[in-house]
Amino acid sequence: MKFKFLEHTADIKFRAYGSNINEVFENAAMAFFEAITDTKKVKLKVKKEFSLEAQDKKSLLYDFLEELLVLHEANNYLFSKFKVEISNHSLKAEVWGEKIKDSHELRNLVKAVTYHDMIVKEGMAQVVLDI
């Protein structure tokens, strides 16, 4: 299982899983965009790359998802493929997707990534998105 959505009263909460921290972050990104749209319908037309540094893994996950939110909101991108390489508290990401089209079903408007109830540990991360 790559990720699962959990019950939450007002926001979206998910857990992402992986055999290593890179895979956990990749699956967290997939869950993030699955909350927004059906990622199976997002074509791999555009590739974006970015790097981040943070003080710890939790901050790194927050910053990673926040960067994806900025790319989504400011540039109207949806992504459906993710490659992440983490070394200590640095991250390099490659993400693939396309601009939002009328054919994309938009499920939720994500306002923010939160630190509330966020967990990052070996094999799993938990995130709450403010919608």
Residues 27-45: tens digit of each pLDDT: 999 999 999 999 999 999 9
pLDDT band, very low/low/confident/very high, at 69 (cuts 50, 70, 90): very high
CATH no., domain 3-130:
3.55.10.10
pLDDT at 1: 84
* Residue 13 predicted with pLDDT over 90: yes
pLDDT band, very low/low/confident/very high, at 12 (cuts 50, 70, 90): very high
pLDDT at 10: 85
The domain segmentation of the chain, as residue ranges, is 3-130
CA distance 110 to 34: 11
pLDDT at 8: 85
pLDDT at 9: 83
Q: How far is CA 23 from CA 4, 52, 111, in A?
A: 14, 17, 25
Strand partners of residue 17: 124
Claim: this prediction has a pTM higher than 0.85: yes
